């Protein structure tokens, strides 16, 4: 979680940019991301230099060429405001815009370069830029946790967060979902509502940590990791730019990150293309039938985006593909025909693996909505025998707006139990996790809310008989009266 010092640094930078004339929170984040990107490129170049010097070998694949050294953060950060402003605006910003752009006709630009074509440098004056550069200089971007915390805090400052049901997913919840689905180098991983690519970045980190040797074994494996593993869609161009930079900083040079409204009829493609979907799609809102992809409406006749996204995930997944997606609790127990039919399909036609019920404070301070994580596998032939339920009480942070880190968390226990489901067969429904047979779910009209199946044991409370209570009250009244009379006597002697 973000430290007080880092939080204070960002608050000061944010205030400086606001008073300096950049008032749109998303613009603030975008402009800060450009500067952090330039800073991180210099840090990566320095790491490569140090490695080359240590091994006494020539520098391989430098970020900056010999005639681009002035573009490095460590070189321009000490310049006077006006020369720094001109250099960043006219040279350094142009440099990051053109990264990944093809110099040869007929060869496509990288997705990063494609999204950066419309990027604009929007610092209005040199003094503001120099102030922000000076403050950012003290932030160490080498630590991935620091990088994630910084992004998380900045994104949390968007005043419009939560509009149209879009809530930023906490990093520890993203990591949990990635750990539970355990991506492999063979996976094609997609987030059809990718935003800043948090799920894809976390999946990349998991693959690098657990399968780094396989990924680095030859050029084909490296190429597949960088170009054929990660796919994301969004219809916010600013988020696509931020997401593309985020992916590039994590070593994914050319992921397929595209501008696309996943639910629109015009974008009805990519059927059965992906083996893993990780997503937190928009919760609120509805679409017109006319603009919604017709094949999704065949699956579920509804205007609700949260249901349409689930239908989309089923369309995008290959047979055998799996999904971990966040849904509002209403999806689990909604009584409309569309709600019931979609749940029936997940249970009867596919393989519903598990449901993690999360406390309502997980998305605070942006919203107090109650949510759950659905885990399912596309089979088109059923396969659900038992559905695993877990009642998450603590995600490791307080459930108020402050979201302070706690000493206890259910996440380690949750992951351990998920990886050993055979041992869950003997768990009772009074426990925090348990299995529910498909027959029970069908008998409950495919209601998937954990409260439908969890049993609560109430402790018996024994009360005194009414006559005894009345007698005790009378005794208390007598004691009060007696005490009052004694107090009066004491006061009368003081006169």
Pairing outcome for strands 317-328 and 274-279: parallel
Ranges of CATH 3.40.50.150 domains, the chain: 161-452
Strand partners, 233: 258
> pLDDT value at position 297?
63
- What are the pLDDT tens digits along the chain (495 aa)? 566 777 888 888 889 998 888 888 888 888 988 898 898 889 889 988 998 999 888 888 888 999 999 999 999 999 999 999 999 999 999 999 888 765 555 555 677 777 788 889 999 999 999 999 999 987 776 666 666 667 667 766 664 444 444 567 888 999 999 999 999 999 999 999 898 898 999 999 999 999 999 998 888 998 899 889 999 988 888 888 888 888 887 778 789 988 877 676 544 567 899 999 999 987 655 555 455 556 666 666 666 788 888 988 998 999 999 999 999 999 999 998 989 999 999 999 999 999 999 998 888 776 778 899 999 999 999 999 999 999 999 999 998 888 888 999 999 999 999 999 999 999 999 999 999 999 999 999 999 999 999 988 777 777 888 888 898 898 898 999 898 888 888 888 776
Complete DSSP assignment for 56-124: T-PPPS-SS-GGGGGGSHHHHTTS-HHHHHHHIIIIIHHHHHHTT--SSTTSPPPHHHHHHTT------
Q: Taking the complete model, does pTM exceed 0.85, yes or no?
A: no
Contact between 241 and 99 (Cβ < 8 Å): no
What is the structure's pLDDT at 201?
92
pLDDT of residue 109: 64
Distance CA 343, CA 311 (A): 11
Centre a 10 Å sphere on the Cβ of residue 126 and count the other Cβ atoms it contains.
Answer: 18
The answer to whether residues 93 and 34 touch, using CB atoms and an 8 Å cutoff, is yes
Q: Sheet of 351-358: strands edge to edge? A: 256-259, 230-234, 189-191, 274-279, 317-328, 371-377, 351-358, 386-391, 433-437
The count of C-alpha atoms lying within 13 angstroms of the C-alpha of 74, restricted to the half-sphere facing its C-beta, is: 11
Q: What would the two tokens of residue 330 be?
A: 């209403």
Task: Express each pLDDT in 135-179 by its tens digit.
Answer: 998 777 666 666 666 766 776 666 444 444 456 788 899 999 999
Q: What is the pLDDT of residue 348?
A: 97
CA–CA dist 46, 63 (Å, integer): 9
For residue 243, which of 92, 336, 116 has the smallest C-alpha distance?
Answer: 116
Q: Quick one: DSSP state of residue 453?
A: T
Residue range(s) in the chain whose domain bears CATH number 1.20.1260.30: 4-144
Tracing tokens 């093809």 back to the chain, one arrives at: 102
Tokens of 299: 């699956």
- Give the CA distances from residue 315 to residues 193, 273, 274, in Å, rounded to whole numbers and listed in that order: 15, 9, 10
CA proximity to 158, closest of 249, 257, 236: 236
Beta bridge partner(s), residue 387: 436
Whether 275 contacts 318, CB under 8 Å: yes
Question: Residue 376 is inside which H or E element, if any?
Answer: strand 371-377
Which of 73, 65, 67, 9 is closest to 38 using CA atoms?
A: 73
User: How far apart, in whole angstroms, are the C-alpha atoms of residue 417 and residue 397?
Assistant: 21
Burial of 259 (0-12, 13-18, 19+ CB in 10 A): middle
Nearest to 122 by CA among 51, 18, 12, 31: 31
Runs of H (alpha helix) within 230-336: 237-249, 294-299, 305-316, 330-333
* Distance between CA atoms of residues 423 and 434, nearest Å: 10
SS percent in the chain: helix, strand, coil, step 5: 50, 15, 35
Count Cβ atoms within 10 A of the Cβ of residue 134 and give its class: 0-12 exposed, 13-18 middle, 19 or more buried: middle
CA gap 373, 187 in Å, rounded: 20
Element (H, E) at 211: helix 198-215
Eight-class DSSP state of 422: G
Beta-bridge partner residues of 327: 372
Q: Tell me if 312 sits within 8 A of 263, measured CB to CB.
A: yes
Mapped onto helix, strand or coil, the DSSP state of residue 248 is helix
Of 256, 199, 248, 216, whose CA–CA distance to 232 is shortest?
256
C-alpha to C-alpha distance for 65 and 249, rounded to whole angstroms: 18
Q: Enter the tokens of residue 359.
A: 């406390």
How high is the pLDDT of residue 156? 66
Identify the residue whose tokens are 């004491």. 490
- Superfamily of 4-144 according to CATH: N6 adenine-specific DNA methyltransferase, N-terminal domain (1.20.1260.30)
Give, to the nearest 10 degrees, the angle between helix 305-316 and helix 337-344.
Answer: 30
At residue 160, the pLDDT reads: 42
- Residue 195, judged by CB atoms within 10 A of its CB (0-12, 13-18, 19+), counts as buried
Q: Is CATH 1.10.1060.10 the right assignment for the domain spanning 161-452?
A: no
Residue 172 has which token pair?
Answer: 């520890």
């Amino acid at each position: 979680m973000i430290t007080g010092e880092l939080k204070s640094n960002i608050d000061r930078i944010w205030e400086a940019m606001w008073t300096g004339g950049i008032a749109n929170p998303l613009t603030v984040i975008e402009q800060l991301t450009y500067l952090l990107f330039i800073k991180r490129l210099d840090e990566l170049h320095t790491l490569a230099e140090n490695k080359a010097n240590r091994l006494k070998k020539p520098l391989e694949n430098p970020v900056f060429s010999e005639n681009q050294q002035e573009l490095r953060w460590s070189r321009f950060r000490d310049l006077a405001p006006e020369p720094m402003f001109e250099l960043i605006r006219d040279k350094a910003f142009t440099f990051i815009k053109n990264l990944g752009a093809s110099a040869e006709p007929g060869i496509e630009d990288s997705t990063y370069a494609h999204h950066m074509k419309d990027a604009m440098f929007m610092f209005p004056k040199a003094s503001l830029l120099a102030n922000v550069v000076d403050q950012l200089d003290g932030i160490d971007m080498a630590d991935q946790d620091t990088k994630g915390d910084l992004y998380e805090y900045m994104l949390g400052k968007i005043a419009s967060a939560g509009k149209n049901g879009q809530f930023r997913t906490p990093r520890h919840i993203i990591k949990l979902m990635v750990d539970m689905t355990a991506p492999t180098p063979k996976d094609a991983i997609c987030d059809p509502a990718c935003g800043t690519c948090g799920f894809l970045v976390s999946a990349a980190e998991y693959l690098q940590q657990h399968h780094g040797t396989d990924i680095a074994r030859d050029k084909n494996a490296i190429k597949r990791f960088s170009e054929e593993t990660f796919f994301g869609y969004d219809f916010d161009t600013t988020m696509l730019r931020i997401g593309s930079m985020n992916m590039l900083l994590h070593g994914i040079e050319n992921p397929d990150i595209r501008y696309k409204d996943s639910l629109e009829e015009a974008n009805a493609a990519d059927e059965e293309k992906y083996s893993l979907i990780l997503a937190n799609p928009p919760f609120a809102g509805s679409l017109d039938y006319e603009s919604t992809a017709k094949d999704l409406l065949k699956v579920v006749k509804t205007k609700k985006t949260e249901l349409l996204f689930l239908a989309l995930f089923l369309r995008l997944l290959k047979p055998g593909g799996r999904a971990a997606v966040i849904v509002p609790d209403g999806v689990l127990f909604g009584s409309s025909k569309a709600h019931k039919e979609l749940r029936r399909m997940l249970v009867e036609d596919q393989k519903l693996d598990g449901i993690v019920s999360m406390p309502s404070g997980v998305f605070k301070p942006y919203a107090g909505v109650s949510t759950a994580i659905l885990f399912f596998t596309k089979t088109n032939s059923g396969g659900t025998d038992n559905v695993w339920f877990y009642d998450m009480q603590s995600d490791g942070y307080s459930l108020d707006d402050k979201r302070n880190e706690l000493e206890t968390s259910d996440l380690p226990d949750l992951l351990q139990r998920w990886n050993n489901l055979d041992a869950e067969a003997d768990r009772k429904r009074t426990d925090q996790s348990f299995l529910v047979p498909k027959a029970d779910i069908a008998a409950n009209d495919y209601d998937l809310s954990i409260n439908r199946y969890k049993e609560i044991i109430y402790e018996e409370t024994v009360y005194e008989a009414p006559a005894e209570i009345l007698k005790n009250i009378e005794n208390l009244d007598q004691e009060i009266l007696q005490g009052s009379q004694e107090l009066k006597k004491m006061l009368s002697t003081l006169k």
